[in-house]
Structure 1
């Protein structure tokens, strides 16, 4: 065996050992605020999977809000908005989608928007949710589009009083996924990249979608990562990203549902968003009849409810007031 072969063999062994250690390190401990969020929650069994949700009754009134989160994070995204939301709503419900947050994260599973919509319906039925508003973000916007389509096209009987969306790729033709999202979606490369994800690479990539001066602190990135890392969620990123293809496959159904819904519809938009760049607002006004579109300050990016939580709730309240809701 020549020297080059020996060196190559040693390098392969070292890389294999490093990969094994790197991809099997323990999950980080959760912070007190994350612990509180988790203790608020309950679990619903959907098929064989556990779905995490929070059902907070704040006051004795009936004004109810259902919050749906984005990819790749969780309902915890709303923790900054929560103190402002409880001033306006009597009951707030949060759901962690399958594969994210504190819900189960099965591997070798065919994740789909259709199934996530089924999960939302199951939680709604389980807790007896009626006459409620929806506040959705990103991935949650797409799930909401499917729910609207079911109401319009399939006769689904849900009493949704209003829908407010934030920075979701509801128009696939102008949606610009990050390079890392495209790579994670690839069959083999995506699997390896998912396994190699860590809090530093996660923070670097997630930080790209925030606006100028609105990035999370390292402690906040740590919280996001800890929830992603829970039950090895980072390993199923590539599988969940199948929704990028679904958006094109069901574009007509989902865009039409927004265009033709009779439910009052609002879009709250952070313009400093690389995955939904400024042509988005032009497209929205072009396609949506009588649009109610709230464009935030230029420095707000992809996570408006995290970057400007008080302003988002203010815009939500103004929308509901103008609609008499």
Structure 2
């Protein structure tokens, strides 16, 4: 047996052992706040899949906010912003995308931004939402871009009153996915890496996108992981990451829709974001000069609504006030 064969055999054996350990790792316990979040929710069956959403009516008014989350987490990302949001809105809706959060996470599925936009429309139609404001983050930004394109190019009648985006790769040319995202996106390597994911590797990789001094506590990382671990969500990371290719494929459609939308648009930006580095601000002002760009403190990273929830809601309210809402 030559050296290469020996090394390969050892590597395969190690992978098999590690996989055997992690594939049988118990599901993390549910924290009280996670339990409350899930009890608030309901499920809508969309094309045989169960989609989790929360529809919270806070007051009797009609000021409604729809929140869309990023990859690889869930609507639970907004739990720190929620206490501030309820002071400004009468109804708040959170949606977990297919493959994430408490929604179904089918394997071997062709995940797409188009399908996620269909899901958002289906949930809003199901719960009968009239005019609403939209707050989105990361992956949710791209879904929002598709919705804007449907309004602009396809004549979709969707009563969005304003759009606020946060730290999403809306400009593919300068978007910089983490190494782990690129590896997970690879056909074979990504398949095995996805199956080997665990709460420690998840926390290490997710921590890289937070700013200085704004990282979640280990308990909060475990909450994030516990939701990812639901229905083995970590196993479909690579399949969901097809959105990286979609961003390039539909770049003209989505950037044009963002640039030319008649809907008031705001971008809330955490500058300490390795996924959307400094050139992002310059490109935004160049391509979308007449819209609002709110840059947060230098230490805020990729999850502004988690890292600086009070400030994000403050900027959102200031924007809506300027636009007469």
Question: How would you bin the TM-score normalised by the shorter chain?
Answer: over 0.9
Check 1:260–1:33 CA distance in 2 against 1; reply closer, same or farther (3 A cut): same
Give structure 1 regions of 4+ aligned residues with deviation exceeding 4 angstroms.
5-15
Deviation of 1:19 after TM superposition, in Å, equals: 2.2
- Partner SS, residue 234 of structure 1: helix
Check 1:6–1:121 CA distance in 2 against 1; reply closer, same or farther (3 A cut).
closer
- Following superposition, the deviation at residue 102 of structure 1 comes to 0.1
Cα 1:212–1:19 change in 2 (3 A) is same
* Runs of 5+ unmatched residues, structure 2: none
Deviations 1:75-101 (A, max 9, x none): 000000000000000000000000000
Q: What are the superposed Cα offsets for residues 84-133 of structure 1, whole Å, 9 maximum, x if unpaired? A: 00000000000000000000000000000000000000001000011100
TM alignment of 1:254-269, pairs within 5 A: 254-269=254-269
**Deviation digits for residues 55-89 of structure 1, max 9, x if unmatched?**
00000000000000000000000000000000000
Task: Report the count of equivalent residues.
Answer: 324
Partner of 1:239: 239
Note the C-alpha offset of 1:24.
2.5
Using a 3 Å threshold, how does the CA distance of structure 1 residues 29 and 292 change in structure 2: closer, same or farther?
Answer: same
Question: Which residue does the alignment assign to 1:318?
Answer: 318
Distance 1:8 1:184, change over 3 A: closer
Q: CA deviation at 1:26?
A: 2.2
TM-score between the two structures when normalised by the length of structure 1:
0.96
* 1:22 shift after superposition: 2.0
Question: Quick check: 1:140 aligned with 2:140?
Answer: yes
TM-score, L = length of structure 2: 0.96
2:282 aligned with 1:277: no
What pairs up with 1:152-171 in 2 under 5 angstroms? 152-171=152-171
Distance 2:184 2:127 in 1: 35
Give the alignment of 1:282-321 within 5 angstroms: 282-321=282-321
Q: How does 1:1-325 map to 2 (within 5 A)?
A: 16-325=16-325
1:110 match: secondary structure: coil
CA distance in 2, matches of 1:9, 1:178: 30
1:284–1:291 Cα contact (<8 Å) kept:
no
Q: Superposition RMSD on alpha carbons, in Å?
A: 1.9
Q: Kindly provide the CA deviation profile for residues 138-185 of structure 1, in whole angstroms up to 9, marking residues without a partner as x.
A: 000000000000001001001110000000000000000000000000
What runs of 5+ residues in structure 1 fail to find an aligned partner? none
The 1:9/1:124 distance shift into structure 2, 3 A limit, reads: closer
Once the two structures are overlaid, the 10-residue window that deviates more, 120-129 or 289-298, is 289-298
